[in-house]
Amino acid sequence: MNVCDAIETRCSVRDYEPKAMPEGDLLKILEAARRAPTARNLHHRRYVVIDNPGEREGFIEACNSQKWIQGASTAIACIIDPEISRWADTDMAIAMEHMVLQAVELGIGSCWVGAFDEKKLSLMLGVPDDRRLFAVLILGYPKNGFSQKPKESIEDIWVRDSYGW
Ligand SMILES: Cc1cc2nc3c(=O)[nH]c(=O)nc-3n(C[C@H](O)[C@H](O)[C@H](O)COP(=O)(O)O)c2cc1C
């Protein structure tokens, strides 16, 4: 699959097959994150991998009780150092999207989780106070394949030379 196909296929997946993710695929996904750019090439992104996050006590509750997480094979908690760069959150957002697209190529679905109790989840995962749990990426094999939602049409989103909306 090329990058264009992965972009066209990507969607948030919240319904998963009960299938474990091979370590090799997990490493490919993390490698995609590692290669993502950061402002000034500063290195501060860290990832805590949780297998079967639905089975980790309190995990779903800390993610605002998002029950669909139950069947996921893996969660990746994405942690930044906000002191190191004012772009730290942007750096992580780029890395997360690298992971999402690499996952698509591997046939793995994902969904960002931005709605969570940062204090609760940080405590559970041992994230120190001077770091920030930016978001969680939930991963698993899609039960019903990939199906992208309608997006804005191309002619509605861009214009040449000056802002036209
Ligand atoms: C920053 C961010 C936070 C998100 N947080 C959640 C979340 O907590 N729970 C959830 O089910 N989906 C979450 N999503 C997924 C969005 O709901 C989803 O991307 C959006 O509906 C568009 O659908 P699509 O990804 O299939 O194109 C989040 C997405 C982003 C980019």
Look up residue 129 and give its two tokens.
């106070």
With b for 16 or more beta-carbon neighbours within 10 A and e for fewer, the 19-32 pattern comes to: eebeeebbebbbeb
For 105-114, how does the pLDDT look when each residue is reduced to its tens digit (9 = 90+)? 999 999 999 9
Are the CB atoms for 103 and 41 separated by under 8 Å? Answer: no
Are the CB atoms for 151 and 53 separated by under 8 Å? Answer: no
pLDDT of residue 134: 98
Q: Is the CB of 12 under 6 A from ligand 1?
A: yes
Question: If you take atom 6 of ligand 1, which residue's CA is the nearest one?
Answer: 113
Q: Is the CB of 115 under 6 A from ligand 1?
A: yes
- What 3-state class would DSSP assign to 115? coil
Q: How far apart are CA 113 and CA 144, in angstroms?
A: 20
> pTM, whole model, 2 decimals?
0.97
Q: Is the CB of 39 under 6 A from ligand 1?
A: no
For 35-54, how does the pLDDT look when each residue is reduced to its tens digit (9 = 90+)? 999 999 999 999 999 999 99
pLDDT of residue 116: 98
Q: Is the CB of 113 under 6 A from ligand 1?
A: yes
pLDDT of residue 92: 98
Strands 132-140 and 74-80: antiparallel
pLDDT of residue 29: 98
Using CA atoms, how far residue 106 sits from 24, 27, 124, 141, 162, in Å, is 10, 12, 29, 9, 40
* CATH superfamily name and code, 3-144: NADH Oxidase (3.40.109.10)
Question: If you take atom 7 of ligand 1, which residue's CA is the nearest one?
Answer: 113
* Domain coordinates in residue numbering, the chain: 3-144
Q: What is the Å distance from ligand 1's center to 146 Cα?
A: 15
CB count within 10 Å of CB 108 equals 24
Q: What is the Å distance from ligand 1's center to 81 Cα?
A: 23
Q: Is the CB of 42 under 6 A from ligand 1?
A: no
Q: Is the CB of 106 under 6 A from ligand 1?
A: no
**Residues of the chain predicted below pLDDT 50:** none
Question: If you take atom 28 of ligand 1, which residue's CA is the nearest one?
Answer: 112
